[in-house]
Structure 1
């Protein structure tokens, strides 16, 4: 068991296998949040650590391996609040195996958004996450080309509170997984869409307890 800490707060959120080891992404905080990316070898020894930040807060939430590089996602240039944050932009960056940044892209969708899932599909990229316009929370799905330029963006649902779970790419469709909360409690959402984001089916499942 290995323990690593950086700054006052260190929160890993996702990882991928890399040459017998792993690459992990998350967030660290002193005053503002920054994205942390770290590489571990097969014995969980730290090989290197990188930080990415800028204006206001930056958070890392997702990572995916594409050939010999990596795509990382999250939310940037926002402010944390007791209600969950304001003015975050969805974020995508391409990272070399040594942690060097090839390019980065920030997306404004509804006014407060975050990338929680990245799935490469053929020569394109699917981004999934949560968005808010201040009056409710929704899920979003965005398709970009391999250079991060958006091809289309769709939003789904609107709830008082919601948690995005991930994307499952199928042969003829895409499944968005998440949950939302209302006065009846939390329910799971399985939203199946076509390759252009059009909805095939929407299945809410109530949970009596967790």
Structure 2
């Protein structure tokens, strides 16, 4: 295993094929990190920076390069910071910036998902400040023209989860705090028109995906490691799910469980018998 560091902090946040996007703190400010990886080797790096802090949060592959998203020109603080502009940029295969857009969304915005389509791309993320936070959805052409920007919600706090394709267009998944935390789905048409919203579950979802035609939410409920597959809830003790990877027959979720780094295998064929592996235990089966 190879490890790399480019500053005081090196934080990978997203990956699209061979491109890793994240943030690096150089001792003064955060910069967006772009790194192309082949196997365990980083073969090319670029850093994007400017006024104040710049952070990279999302990435997607295009036929001729990449789309990345993040937040720029803000000031990072432990509670999320202020002054952020939502950021989206198109890169060629050599990581050169072909165009970039800095978008003011309620004075504080960050792009946590980029989703290319045949006619352009959608971006989505969080906006606002503590006590008045919400989500946004934007649509751009592949040449960078902003065609739509929809900012919605006014909650005590929010956590953006994912932007997923759906039968009618797109589904924005996020957690909102209104006295308690709950996960909601916001449905949009193929052109970005709002179709409605639905509460899915209590808890905070840090990641979501579609698996075997079922919506999977993963994160934590209270203090418990939590996964929801369709309408089935799975909790495995104190901890948090931070990532997942789906195959045809099983779902792998990673995170922290009972103080250990863990990977949990969920199987369609054996519901109720989850397997997990930790750094301290070579194998264990949940009963």
- Structure 2 partner of 1:166: 162
- Structure 1 partner of 2:30: 33
1:149-164 maps to which residues of 2 (within 5 A)?
149-164=145-160
- Structure 1 partner of 2:128: 132
Gaps of 5+ in 2: 204-220, 225-287
* Residue 133 of structure 1, CA deviation: 5.5
- Structure 2 partner of 1:57: 53
| Higher alpha-carbon deviation: 167-176 or 120-129 | 167-176
Please give the alpha-carbon distance, in whole angstroms, between the structure 2 residues aligned to 1:101 and 1:152.
22
Please give the alpha-carbon distance, in whole angstroms, between the structure 2 residues aligned to 1:72 and 1:147.
14
Q: Identify the match of residue 19 of structure 2 among 18, 23, 33.
A: 23
- Structure 1 partner of 2:12: 12
Deviation per CA, 1:20-75: give whole Å up to 9, x if none: xx21000000211000000111x211101110000000000011111121011100
Q: Identify the match of residue 202 of structure 1 among 197, 201, 220.
A: 197
Gaps of 5+ in 1: none
* Residue 134 of structure 1, CA deviation: 6.2
Q: 1:134 to 1:160 in 2, by over 3 A?
A: closer
Please give the alpha-carbon distance, in whole angstroms, between the structure 1 residues aligned to 2:191 and 2:97.
29
Q: 1:169 to 1:79 in 2, by over 3 A?
A: same
TM-score under structure 2 length normalisation = 0.68
| Higher alpha-carbon deviation: 189-198 or 8-17 | 189-198
Check if 1:105 corresponds to 2:101: yes
Q: Using CA pairs under 8 Å that are at least 6 residues apart, name the structure with larger relative contact order, 1 or 2.
A: 1
Deviation per CA, 1:151-200: give whole Å up to 9, x if none: 1111232211111111112342210011122322x211111122343332
Contact 2:188 2:195 in 1 (8 A): yes
Please give the alpha-carbon distance, in whole angstroms, between the structure 2 residues aligned to 1:206 and 1:195.
28
TM-score under structure 1 length normalisation = 0.92
- Structure 1 partner of 2:254: none
Which of structure 1's runs of 4+ aligned residues deviate more than 4 A?
A: none
Please give the alpha-carbon distance, in whole angstroms, between the structure 1 residues aligned to 2:188 and 2:99.
29
| Higher alpha-carbon deviation: 106-115 or 191-200 | 191-200
Please give the alpha-carbon distance, in whole angstroms, between the structure 1 residues aligned to 2:92 and 2:158.
33
